Amino acid sequence: MVQVRDKEPTEIDNRSREADIDAIKQVVATVQHATQNELVEEFLALFRADAIWTTGGGKPLFGLDEISAFTRQVLPGGMTGLTITMDVTHVLFIRPDVAAVKIRQIYTSSDGQPSDAEGEGTPMFVMAKDDDKWRLVACQNTGVPESQ
């Protein structure tokens, strides 16, 4: 179940909000699909031109050009022997067109066991709705410490 926090919504707000949550989940599903299948262009198409991405290793990337260059280096071949699942666990609507999205990210090896090298992640995606389409704006890819 996805947790959603905002003011008390009306029935119309609820229908609109449900559609937005579905669209946000679809963006996350596309990130998962593009990552799993090493589809660089599909992945990059999800970002706004002015996006910020902080990698799992802590490297900040500013703008689509830097995100593209990094992605083109690490994504091809990066999923060899791995499977990824990404589930939306929490959505906070900062405004009707801006949402902070918390994700549970799990890497497993080709034999279905959790990947010791990649482990579990807890990314945060801030998304904005531009021209009726949700896009990635500011993202932090963070690993979960083994002790948790």
Can you list the domains of the chain with their CATH numbers?
3-140 (3.10.450.50)
Query: Strand, helix or coil at 102?
Result: strand
Main-chain phi, psi angles of 98, to 5 degrees: -140, 130
The whole-angstrom separation of Cα 6 and Cα 88 is: 17
What confidence score (pLDDT) does residue 57 get? 85
User: What is the number of helices (H) and of strands (E) in the chain?
Assistant: 3, 8
**Of 18-32, 83-97, 98-112, the least confident:** 98-112
Kindly report the pTM of this predicted structure.
0.84
Q: What are the pLDDT digits (tens) for 93-127? A: 999 999 999 999 988 887 776 666 666 788 999 99
Q: Copy the structure tokens of residue 148.
A: 């948790």
What is the pLDDT of the chain when averaged over all its residues? 87
Contacts of 125 (CB under 8 A, 6+ apart): 27, 28, 31, 100, 101, 103, 136, 138, 139
